[in-house]
Chain A
Amino acid sequence: MARITYREAISKALWEEMERDPSVFILGEEVGVWGGTYAVTKGFYDHFGPKRVMDTPIAEATIVGAAIGAALTGLRPVAELMTINFAFAAMDHIVNQAAKLRYMFGGQFTLPLVIRTVSGGGRQLGATHSQTPDAIFAHFPGLKVVAPGTPQDAKGLLKAAIRSNDPILFIEHATLYQTRGEVPDEDYTIPIGKSIIQRPGRDVTIVTYSKMLEVSLKAAEQLSKEGIEAEIVDLRSLRPLDMEPVLQSFRKTNRAVIVEEGWRSYGVGSEVAARIYEEAFDYVDAPIQRIAQKETPLPYNRNLEQMALPQVEDVVRAVKEVL
């Protein structure tokens, strides 16, 4: 085990998979000579060369489209979209093409494609560069959506994604890159579509993922000082959504708070809450609480931006509400 950052974990996963399999290559804006705008692919260009680390024009639809085409020829492209906000320019290729081609053509081929991108606010980048629209992408059957919250999961899930034969949107978080965590030294993968208990507890179930795992863990620590033990389920994948650990935990605690960074309306919390009500209604002791981003475009001003984003105190308050 080594203690490395989320950035290093992702970078290592990519590096090791490229070393392991010559059909894996990277394409995207500034992934090569620049080294990646989040420095994930720093050093890749010099080591793997321009054939396997391809700088593209600023043309998101074509980055994803070309990755789809290359995947159809049997390669394993890892396309990088600099941020998820730019994925909207590639929306047709993500949801109309990647998610549908296999089904539409009767399963004639596989689409081993990974689209890496970055979600999340909190860096004063203004409304168009700060969104967390993860749930939108999880709406589409045919696409898999993964969003790790720890370095260990980031590495294992990215490796699994690259080895998978399905199109996967791999959503990293902009403010997790410096987060450190224990990561196994040996080669390992983490199965896509498996939720996990990140912190055991008995009093309340917190369901979350990505950056909000960090926020939820801090809230749980605070609550623990008051004798409240929260159990935290990290979804890790939004599609397929593994509800089993959530339901197991809920049947024990009978209370749930769902924490996500995106907007509340039609969000991850809506989906998870609905499924708890559908599948564990008899265990409900209090209305399920949803913590999410305020329903505004995210402002530039630091104070206003933080007001809009879910905070540790919001989670603490919601937990006390359901108890």
Chain B
Amino acid sequence: MEKQHYLDLYHQMVLIRLVEEAAAQLYQQGKIGGFLHLYIGQEAVSTGIVSARQPQDRVITAYRDHGVAINVGIPAKQVLAELLGKATGISKGKGGSMHLADVQRNFWGGHAIVGAHLPIAAGLALGDQYQGNDAVTICMFGDGATNIGFFHEALNLSKVWNLPVLWVCENNQYGMGTAVERASAVSEIRQKAEGYDMTNSRVDGMDVIAVREATLAVLEQIRSGEGPHLMEVVTYRYRGHSMGDPERYRPLEEVKRWQESDPIGIYRRYLESQSIATAQELDTIDQRVEEEVAEAVRFAEESPEPPPEALFEDIYAE
């Protein structure tokens, strides 16, 4: 990997972190409505995965979608504008935090019903298989989604039809406030693939390089026709499930313990110890991101509301 690419991954992770912190602030100021699910702590997961895809590979994820949105290249200002419900948002202010998508960048959303996008992901892959496209669909979801029927239907179908899908479970230890072992019969999510005779793996989700390399390898397998794969990425969210989560279900010490293996910190130390970048270079990126986010917040706040006629637009194509 070229140096610039390493720095780019760092830039993306810091950008996600600061966009999320800005979003938290805007939420507390009452400028963001509805739910807000922050990706802080999980940045290495989407960054590593998206960095490994080819442009023709589709990405689809759940409602904790700001990370993927940044990684596929949606400008921070269009992400924040969507969170503020503005006309300039990536979904014209009609989707909100949970429904970011950018079809031009092969990002198919942002889906808020737990597990419901897994059958849709199978269909995206079916579409590529049908048309002979050399593309893999990467479908991300949380550990909580692996207990709902959609997950099992979709995994089964993907194996029966040998669909080019990479199933990625972001195991952040909790489905809302319920710990994995309290909701799932197996605590290693990867095991669920065994029932579908599907290859599977488990990856350290706090290490962006580990995630990236694992994803590159498995995408190549899938692209060569070996069928779907379930990759479990072990990670942790530092913030609550959504804003306003009292977090009674986990001790503060646990959060602190995970924060010691912060994905941005780990990556920073890696870049420095491998002499890929100097502390100064990385500080410069931090500073650039701060300015970028401040500018994005300004853009979002100053953007116009959707016009009244937008209410009735895009319900149907015809």
Contacts and interface: CB of A to CB of B under 8 A. Distances in A.
State whether these chains interact. yes
Interface of A: 25, 51, 54, 56-57, 59, 61-62, 64-75, 77, 92-93, 96-97, 101-111, 141-142, 144, 164-166
A106 B315 contact: no
Contacts of B101: 105, 108
Given A62-B122, A107-B92, A101 B130 contact: no
A134 B156 CA distance: 30
A51 B150 CA distance: 23
A200 to B, nearest CB: 30
Contact of B124 (A61, A64, A69, A104): A69
A106 B94 contact: yes
Nearest to A163: B318
Given A69-B121, A108-B101, A96 B116 contact: yes
Contacts of A166: 316-318
29 contacts: A25-B130, A61-B116, A65-B118, A66-B119, A66-B157, A68-B119, A69-B122, A69-B127, A70-B130, A72-B120, A72-B123, A73-B123, A73-B131, A74-B127, A77-B123, A92-B113, A93-B116, A93-B119, A96-B116, A97-B120, A102-B316, A103-B314, A105-B91, A105-B99, A107-B92, A107-B314, A111-B317, A144-B316, A165-B318
Nearest to B87: A106
A202 to B, nearest CB: 36
B128 interface: yes
Q: Describe A's contact surface by its main secondary structure.
A: mixed
A75 to B, nearest CB: 5
B144 to A, nearest CB: 16
Interface string B115-155: 01011111111111011000001000000000001100110
A163 B160 CA distance: 29
Nearest to A240: B316
A65 B92 contact: no
B308 to A, nearest CB: 16
A97 B102 contact: no
Nearest to B163: A66
Interface of B: 89-95, 99, 101-103, 108-110, 113, 116, 118-128, 130-131, 137, 149-150, 153-154, 156-157, 160-161, 313-318
Given A61-B150, A108-B101, A166-B317, A70 B123 contact: yes
A106 B124 contact: no
A264 B118 CA distance: 36
Contacts of A164: 317-318
B126 A66 contact: yes
Contacts of B124: 69-70, 72-73
B38 to A, nearest CB: 21
Contact of A104 (B95, B150, B157): B95
A69 B123 contact: yes
Contacts of B116: 61, 65, 92-93, 96-97
Contacts of B128: 73
Contact of B153 (A51, A61, A71, A101): A61
Contacts of A96: 113, 116
B117 to A, nearest CB: 8
What 7 pairs between A and B have smallest CB-CB spacing?
Answer: A69-B123, A65-B119, A73-B127, A107-B314, A106-B92, A66-B123, A62-B153
B95 A75 contact: no
A112 to B, nearest CB: 8
A71 B126 CA distance: 10
A315 to B, nearest CB: 34
A142 B116 CA distance: 18
Contacts of B153: 57, 59, 61-62, 65
Contacts of A54: 161
Contacts of B314: 102-103, 106-107
Contacts of A111: 317
B251 to A, nearest CB: 35
A117 to B, nearest CB: 17
A25 B126 CA distance: 11
B315 A103 contact: yes
A53 B99 CA distance: 33
A54, A75, A77, A108 pick with most chain B CB within 10 angstroms: A108
Contacts of A106: 89-95, 314
Given A62-B122, A96-B113, A102 B317 contact: yes
A75 B110 CA distance: 21
Contact of B130 (A51, A103, A110): A51
B106 to A, nearest CB: 11
A204 to B, nearest CB: 34
A70 B121 CA distance: 9
A188 to B, nearest CB: 18
A59 B148 CA distance: 13
A65 B122 contact: yes
A110 B316 CA distance: 8
Contact of B157 (A25, A57, A102, A165): A57
A72 B108 contact: yes
A107 B93 CA distance: 11
B65 to A, nearest CB: 12
A166 B314 CA distance: 11
Given A57-B156, A57-B160, A109-B103, A104 B120 contact: no
A272 to B, nearest CB: 21
B119 A62 contact: yes
B128 to A, nearest CB: 6
A141 B26 CA distance: 32
